[in-house]
């Protein structure tokens, strides 16, 4: 099956020390000379391949523009992230990039930054109820819809579906909204359970184990990211249910791609392009600094991959 892609690019894409109990900021661009702009980046995690790729793209684009970036990683701790942001405010950085752990909980500290005259941009995950200049992210709702359509075709329009969820994150809300909208066209497909996996492999594994104990007739699982999908995969295999359950995921990490290519029960993934998000975020900030009006939302393309499309990618 060929890659199914969705593109909504409504505009041209040209993307210190920590107090309050935080740690020293991690890697960034060189400090540069007098007049160098400084961006504070308060991101969700550095453990996911997605964020590692996004960070590398941010660094590369910042270096082209003689910009310094100071990175901090919350590792799924909302209070820690808010502390990082407050420290960046105290440092009077020239802009903030935030990938929130808690899309709503970060709003008050974003308001502090804006009151201090610091422009705020969100990347990958949006902040709800917050005044940001621009949000740069995958079109998550479109990705969820594409995945729902794929699953409906795979199952012949019938089945009982569970979601390994992470509902405090706005991008996940968008994914599940699109997924549900796609399944609404198939009356014999039902979402019968949503369980929290917090976007982490070990928690998704445990959540899926409990799910399988409670729901004996699940036919498919949607993991809202690849750690969730891979955790679900391990739990289903451990329970000996690989003959009756299929899984779809979201991100397209190397491990997920490997499992899909091998023909496991992880059948498909919506693929994101974190390098494009990282690059576009820095370019958007530069455009803003140059006095341009930038869009409030910049959606970046997504695509669905499966075993057949991965074979086609590998073909000479």
pLDDT in tens, 34-76: 458 999 999 999 998 889 999 999 999 999 999 999 999 999 9
Q: Are 167 and 103 in contact (CB under 8 A)?
A: no
Residue 30 has pLDDT above 80, yes or no: no
Do residues 71 and 98 both lie within one domain? yes
pLDDT of residue 13: 30
Which residues constitute the domain of residue 180? 140-272+307-314
pLDDT digits (tens, 9 = 90+) for 166-213: 998 888 999 999 999 999 999 999 999 999 999 999 999 999 999 999
pLDDT of residue 14: 31
Provide the number of structural domains found in the chain.
2
Identify the sign of the CA torsion 41, 46, 48, 49.
positive
Q: Are 140 and 178 in contact (CB under 8 A)?
A: yes
Rounded to two decimals, the pTM is: 0.74
Do residues 74 and 197 both lie within one domain? no
Residue 27 has pLDDT above 60, yes or no: no
Q: Are 83 and 20 in contact (CB under 8 A)?
A: yes
**What CATH number corresponds to the domain at position 280?**
3.40.50.2300
Q: Are 283 and 15 in contact (CB under 8 A)?
A: yes
Do residues 130 and 278 both lie within one domain? yes
Residue 7 has pLDDT above 80, yes or no: no
Q: Are 245 and 215 in contact (CB under 8 A)?
A: no
78 contact partners, CB below 8 Å, separation of at least 6:
100, 101, 102, 105, 106
pLDDT digits (tens, 9 = 90+) for 139-170: 999 999 999 999 999 999 999 999 999 998 88
pLDDT of residue 238: 97
* 3 state DSSP class of 192: strand
């Amino acid at each position: 099956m060929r890659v199914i892609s969705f593109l909504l690019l409504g505009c041209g894409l040209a993307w210190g020390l920590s107090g309050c109990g935080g740690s020293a900021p991690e890697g960034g661009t060189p400090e540069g000379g007098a007049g160098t702009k400084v961006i504070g980046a308060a991101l969700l995690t550095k453990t996911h391949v997605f964020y590692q790729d996004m960070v590398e793209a941010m660094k590369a684009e910042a270096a082209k523009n003689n910009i310094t970036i100071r990175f901090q990683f919350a590792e799924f701790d909302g209070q820690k992230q808010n502390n990082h942001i407050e420290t960046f405010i105290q440092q009077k950085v020239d802009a903030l990039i935030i990938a929130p752990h808690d899309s709503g909980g970060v709003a008050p500290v974003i308001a502090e930054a804006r009151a201090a005259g610091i422009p705020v941009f969100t990347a990958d995950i949006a902040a709800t109820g917050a005044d940001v200049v621009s949000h740069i992210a995958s079109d998550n709702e479109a990705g969820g819809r594409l995945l729902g359509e794929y699953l409906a075709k795979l199952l012949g329009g019938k089945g009982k579906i569970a979601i390994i969820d992470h509902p405090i994150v706005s991008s996940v809300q968008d994914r599940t909204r699109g997924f549900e909208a796609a399944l609404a066209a198939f009356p014999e497909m039902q979402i019968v359970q949503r369980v929290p996996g917090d976007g982490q492999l070990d928690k998704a594994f445990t959540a899926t184990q409990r799910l399988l104990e409670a729901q004996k007739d699940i036919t498919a699982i949607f993991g809202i990211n690849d750690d969730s999908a891979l955790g679900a995969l391990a739990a289903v295999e451990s329970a000996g249910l690989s003959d009756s359950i299929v899984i779809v995921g979201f991100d397209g990490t190397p491990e997920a791609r490997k499992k899909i290519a091998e023909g496991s029960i992880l059948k498909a993934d919506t693929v994101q392009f974190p390098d494009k998000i990282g690059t576009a975020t820095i370019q958007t900030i530069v455009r803003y600094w140059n006095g341009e009006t930038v869009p409030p939302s910049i959606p970046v393309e997504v695509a669905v991959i499966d075993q057949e499309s991965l074979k086609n990618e590998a073909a000479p």
